[in-house]
Chains A and B, each alone.
Chain A
Amino acid sequence: MLARSGRSDAGADPRSAPAPSFGLRWLWQYAQDLPRPYVLDCGPLRSATLAVLLGRSGRFYRGDLITPLKRPDLWDRTRKTPVFRTELLLAELPSVAPASLSLVFCWHLLDLLPREALADVLLQVHKLMESGGVLFCLLREPRLDRGADAEWELDGLNCLKHAREGTTPFPYPALSNREIDRLLPTGSVKTFLTRSGWREVLVVK
């Protein structure tokens, strides 16, 4: 697998809204020959994001995997050690044909998942992506300890805007690109560093 990174010195700071995103710029350049890609948004519903993505999608799917993480029923507490019920979270995904998605926006979902759920969630999303499909996510740097409740929205195709900065501490340690790489059956990982403490990570299947 290939892991590459680029640094976006010109900004790409999603805390100062709206800011150009080099990851998104790369994404849309990559998808420029796809007139109507199938797109999945796994984040909290933002009307601005919806408007942008609807204009660019052939079919747009959404199922929020981030907001339900607050639900207490996602944890089975009948056992000695609470067990995360990944199947309940994945039930929030809409019905999507396997290998049909060109682009998936999962925002900072991976930073919020318990480690034991990461592989299953990534695998499920990976199954839904077509070959060459791209997963766009934001991963925090280890130095960023707060922002679990952050929310972003698109301000045009190439700009990210913080809809909410987020002040809640992260529940789990920061993920490295190597960990993401290891969890994926196939694909390459491309990373854009920003000054905000968030990496823009694109996984190409």
Chain B
Amino acid sequence: MPDATPRPPAASGGQPSSTLGRSVTIKGELSAKEDLVIEGQFEGTIDVAEHTVTVGPQGQVKSEIRARQVVVHGSVNGKITAREKIDIRRTGNVTGDLQAAGVAIEDGAYFKGSIEILREGRAEAAPARPVAIPRPS
């Protein structure tokens, strides 16, 4: 019989991960060489460049996040940079600037800020702005 017990969202299948539980509040710099699940409150910077950060439904993060992938079910206020993908789920609430190769936001989520897509793996700045716009008749 399948286990129907609700579980916190998994970071990524089969990979070791650390979890900051619901009652945990941390301020500071956090780096890790494994996936990270945040169910509590965190303020500061998170750097898990090669791994996935998952902010759980109860998670509240005021932080700059750098990761391979970021999945948000909870609340994030700050810049998020992901080499691969940022995924904001229906319950997610994000205010900040996103930079990633791919961004997906589900209907129902809240997002205020900017998105810059890193194209072909290059962490390039936005291209130079054209000076004039042609005007069709």
Partners in one complex: yes
Stretch of B2-10, B38-46, B55-63, B100-108 lying at the A interface: B100-108
**B134 and A30 contacting across the interface, CB-CB below 8 Å:** yes
**A132 and B133 contacting across the interface, CB-CB below 8 Å:** yes
Expressed in whole angstroms, the minimum distance between the Cβ of B99 and any Cβ of chain A is 10
**A204 surroundings in chain B (CB, below 8 A):** 135
Q: Does B121 contact A (CB under 8 A)?
A: no
**B133 and A61 contacting across the interface, CB-CB below 8 Å:** no
- Chain A residue with Cβ nearest B119: A36
Q: Interface of chain B, helix or strand or loop or mixed?
A: loop
- Contacts A26-B136, A33-B133, A132-B133 given: A50-B112 contact, CB under 8 Å? no
Q: How large is the interface on A (under 10, 10 to 19, 20 to 34, 35 or more residues)?
A: 20 to 34
- Contacts A33-B130, A54-B117 given: A62-B135 contact, CB under 8 Å? no
- A57 CA / B127 CA spacing, docked (Å): 11
**A33 surroundings in chain B (CB, below 8 A):** 130, 133-134
- Contact string against A for B residues 117-134, beta-carbon threshold 8 Å, 1 for contact and 0 otherwise: 100000000110110111
**A45 and B110 contacting across the interface, CB-CB below 8 Å:** yes
- A124 CA / B116 CA spacing, docked (Å): 23
- A36 CA / B111 CA spacing, docked (Å): 21
- Contact string against B for A residues 16-48, beta-carbon threshold 8 Å, 1 for contact and 0 otherwise: 000000000010011111111010000001110
Q: Does B114 contact A (CB under 8 A)?
A: yes
- A91 CA / B76 CA spacing, docked (Å): 18
- Contacts A45-B105, A46-B107 given: A59-B114 contact, CB under 8 Å? yes
Q: Does A187 contact B (CB under 8 A)?
A: no
- Contacts A45-B105, A60-B115 given: A29-B126 contact, CB under 8 Å? no
**B133 and A30 contacting across the interface, CB-CB below 8 Å:** yes
Expressed in whole angstroms, the minimum distance between the Cβ of A129 and any Cβ of chain B is 11
Q: Does A147 contact B (CB under 8 A)?
A: no
- A95 CA / B113 CA spacing, docked (Å): 7
**A51 surroundings in chain B (CB, below 8 A):** 104
Residue from the list A26, A29, A58, A61 in contact with B127, Cβ < 8 A: A58
**A64 and B126 contacting across the interface, CB-CB below 8 Å:** no
Expressed in whole angstroms, the minimum distance between the Cβ of B37 and any Cβ of chain A is 24
**A61 surroundings in chain B (CB, below 8 A):** 113-115
- Contacts A35-B127, A36-B126 given: A62-B113 contact, CB under 8 Å? yes
**B133 surroundings in chain A (CB, below 8 A):** 30-31, 33-34, 102, 132-133
Q: Does B32 contact A (CB under 8 A)?
A: no
Residues of chain B at the chain A interface (Cβ within 8 Å):
103-117, 126-127, 129-130, 132-136
List 11 additional contacts besides A34-B133, A62-B113, A62-B115; criterion CB under 8 Å: A26-B136, A31-B133, A32-B134, A33-B133, A50-B103, A59-B114, A60-B116, A94-B114, A95-B114, A132-B135, A204-B135
Residues of chain A at the chain B interface (Cβ within 8 Å):
26, 29-36, 38, 45-47, 50-51, 54, 57-64, 92, 94-96, 100, 102, 130, 132-133, 204
